[in-house]
């Protein structure tokens, strides 16, 4: 790893979450004068940092962001989840200060090739599948699926590839980020609490193509109309996944019920078509099939052998909180999909099940339109249980299409779901919303749901008199 000289530079890191910790650790080690800022109270932030960082090596500021902190800065790095349109960041930009996202900063400090996985839904699963396939081919890979991207800079050995899950917020803060490959999963309505309209959100995602060239490999979802709409505007070596069988002059991947086909080599006039069995695939739903097609297509383009790809297909299990099977209790299966944080994601999840569904949803609304789920709730959901700040809004959109309950807590929701269930039913937690009304992040929400289900499964001891 190389990157720009940081010694002596005045750097501000915005956000004291895991990415902020990793960035601070790296910048301090490289000799920068670091201020870590977070808008939470210090009594909440300091205990989270004390074990991971030497607090004497940098300044920590908590509470409302102060403009004076940014006035002398030479570099500002913004962590995921922090809005790029904060007033203090706008002040820094207009003052000529370099303001970049974690993604941009890490890419400038690392020499290794980056594979960007962008789009609305399915990014982490696609990245995890690709990572497993490349590792099966003997490559070393760093992916920010369950760890901060910035922590790569603190590793002692470089990887062969960095697989970067790139969300819209981080893409807003790029300038020179130029991945070797881009996988674009899909585009759907999301984060309208942070963006003034849908096109602004779409445009933020499309920033991943800002610096692509003719040599950049680009994989697009042929089954997603919003993605295909801008395909002709992109330079690069295009390949497609999803949808039906693709024209012969493109690399691509498509699937039916029990088989996936992947064609590679068209670019050099040596097209080869590979077939893969899906009978042992543990990932549910059409969305996950698209994720698998994207990862498999790129893996084969990169020289991974088909036998390695088939091995991952047969052994890969759902990531935590992504249509994750938790437990079967008295013939009722519980699935957690806490990362289903927008209506489009929850719709893809509903399509993964044929069993009678009891759906638990709700959280903090992102100015989303839930009405598109109405026919699917009517057809697939026997009970809808709503919780969180958005429950009234979701109820107005969907409550008339099935028996619906509004409750105060996730615990109540699970208990009612179990009481209403019968053998063969599926209880599905897919929120359609953010969890920040109750939880710090999606992973915490997934852990909490899993914990409650496992508690429900524990045999109750009887007290004898």
Of all residues in the chain, what percent carry a pLDDT higher than 70?
96
Look up the pTM and report it.
Answer: 0.92
What pLDDT is attached to residue 269?
A: 86
What pLDDT is attached to residue 256?
A: 87
Q: 10-96 in CATH: which number?
A: 3.40.50.720
Measured distance CA(284)–CA(258) in Å, rounded: 13
**Element of type H or E holding 49:** helix 42-50
What pLDDT is attached to residue 130?
A: 98
The reply to whether 324-457 shares the fold of 10-96 is: no
- Average pLDDT value for the chain: 93
What pLDDT is attached to residue 222?
A: 94
CA neighbor of 100 nearest in space, from 204, 174, 196, 166:
174
The answer, yes or no, to whether residue 458 has pLDDT greater than 50, is yes
2 pLDDT band (50/70/90 cuts)?
low
Report the DSSP pairing between strands 381-386 and 403-406.
parallel
CATH class of 105-315: alpha beta
What dihedral angle (degrees, nearest 10) is formed by the CA atoms of 128, 130, 132, 135? -130
What pLDDT is attached to residue 3?
A: 61
Give the distance, in angstroms, between the CA of residue 346 and the centroid of all CA atoms in the same chain. 14
Average the pLDDT over 159-165 and give the result.
Answer: 98
The two three-digit tokens of residue 73, written as one number: 């800065």
Measured distance CA(115)–CA(454) in Å, rounded: 37
Contact 450, 444 (CB under 8 A): no
The answer, yes or no, to whether residue 373 has pLDDT greater than 60, is yes
CA neighbor of 297 nearest in space, from 318, 276, 277:
276
What pLDDT is attached to residue 156?
A: 92
CATH class of 324-457: alpha beta
Residue with tokens 């991943």: 208
The residues with which 98 forms a beta bridge, in sequence order, are: 75
The answer, yes or no, to whether residue 119 has pLDDT greater than 90, is yes
Residue 464 CB partners (closer than 8 Å, separation 6+): none
Of all residues in the chain, what percent carry a pLDDT higher than 90?
86
176 pLDDT band (50/70/90 cuts)?
very high
Tens of pLDDT, residue by residue over 127-141, are 999 999 999 999 999
5 pLDDT band (50/70/90 cuts)?
confident
Backbone angles phi, psi at 142, to 5 degrees: -115, 125
460 pLDDT band (50/70/90 cuts)?
low
Measured distance CA(172)–CA(155) in Å, rounded: 26
464 pLDDT band (50/70/90 cuts)?
very low
Q: What is the residue extent of each domain of the chain?
A: 10-96, 105-315, 324-457
Average the pLDDT over 415-424 and give the result.
Answer: 96
Residue with tokens 């700040």: 389
Average the pLDDT over 308-315 and give the result.
Answer: 98
Positions of E strands within 242-336: 252-255, 259-264, 272-277, 324-329, 332-336
What pLDDT is attached to residue 117?
A: 98
The answer, yes or no, to whether residue 153 has pLDDT greater than 70, is yes
The answer, yes or no, to whether residue 232 has pLDDT greater than 90, is no
The answer, yes or no, to whether residue 259 has pLDDT greater than 60, is yes
The answer, yes or no, to whether residue 306 has pLDDT greater than 90, is yes
| Cα–Cα separations (whole angstroms), residue 305 to 35, 143, 217, 276, 301 | 47, 21, 19, 12, 10
């Amino acid at each position: 790893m190389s990157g720009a000289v940081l010694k002596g530079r005045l750097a501000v890191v915005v956000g004291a979450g895991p990415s902020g910790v990793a960035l601070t650790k790296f910048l301090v080690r490289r000799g920068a004068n670091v201020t870590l800022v977070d808008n939470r109270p210090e009594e909440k932030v300091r205990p989270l940092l004390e074990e991971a960082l030497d607090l004497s090596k940098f300044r920590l500021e908590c509470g409302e962001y102060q403009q004076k902190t940014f006035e002398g800065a030479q570099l500002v790095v913004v962590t995921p989840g922090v809005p790029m349109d904060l007033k203090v960041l706008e002040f820094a930009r207009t003052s000529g200060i370099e303001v970049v996202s974690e993604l941009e900063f890490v890419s400038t400090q690392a020499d290794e090739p980056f594979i960007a996985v962008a789009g609305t839904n399915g990014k982490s699963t696609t990245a995890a599948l690709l990572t497993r396939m490349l590792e099966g081919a003997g490559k070393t890979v760093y992916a920010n699926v369950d760890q901060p991207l910035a922590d790569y800079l603190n590793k002692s050995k470089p990887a062969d590839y960095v697989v970067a899950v790139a969300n819209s917020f981080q893409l807003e803060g790029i300038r020179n980020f130029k991945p070797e490959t881009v996988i674009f999963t899909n585009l759907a309505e999301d984060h309208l609490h942070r963006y003034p309209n849908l096109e602004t959100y779409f445009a933020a995602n499309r920033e991943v193509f800002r610096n692509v060239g003719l040599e950049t490999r680009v994989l697009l979802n042929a089954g997603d109309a919003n993605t295909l709409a801008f395909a002709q505007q992109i330079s690069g070596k295009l390949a497609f996944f999803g949808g039906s069988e693709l024209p012969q002059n493109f690399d691509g991947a498509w699937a039916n019920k029990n088989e996936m086909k992947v064609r590679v080599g068209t670019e050099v006039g040596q097209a080869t078509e590979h077939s893969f069995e899906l009978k042992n695939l543990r990932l549910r739903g059409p969305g996950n099939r698209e994720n698998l097609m994207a990862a498999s297509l790129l893996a084969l383009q990169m020289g991974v052998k088909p036998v390695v790809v088939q091995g991952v297909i047969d052994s890969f299990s759902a990531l935590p909180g992504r249509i994750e099977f938790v437990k079967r209790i008295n013939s009722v299966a519980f699935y957690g999909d806490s990362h289903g944080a927008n209506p489009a994601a929850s719709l893809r999840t509903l399509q993964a099940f044929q069993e009678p569904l009891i759906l638990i949803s709700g959280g903090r609304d992102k100015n989303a339109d839930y009405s598109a789920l109405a026919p699917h709730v009517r057809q697939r959901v026997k009970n809808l249980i709503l919780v969180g700040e958005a429950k009234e809004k979701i109820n107005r959109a969907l409550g008339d299409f099935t028996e619906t309950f509004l409750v105060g807590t996730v615990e109540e929701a699970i208990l009612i779901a179990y009481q209403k269930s019968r053998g063969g039913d599926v209880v599905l937690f897919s929120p359609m919303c953010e969890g920040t009304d109750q939880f710090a992040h999606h992973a915490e929400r997934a852990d909490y749901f899993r914990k409650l289900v496992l508690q429900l499964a524990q045999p109750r001891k009887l007290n004898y008199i």
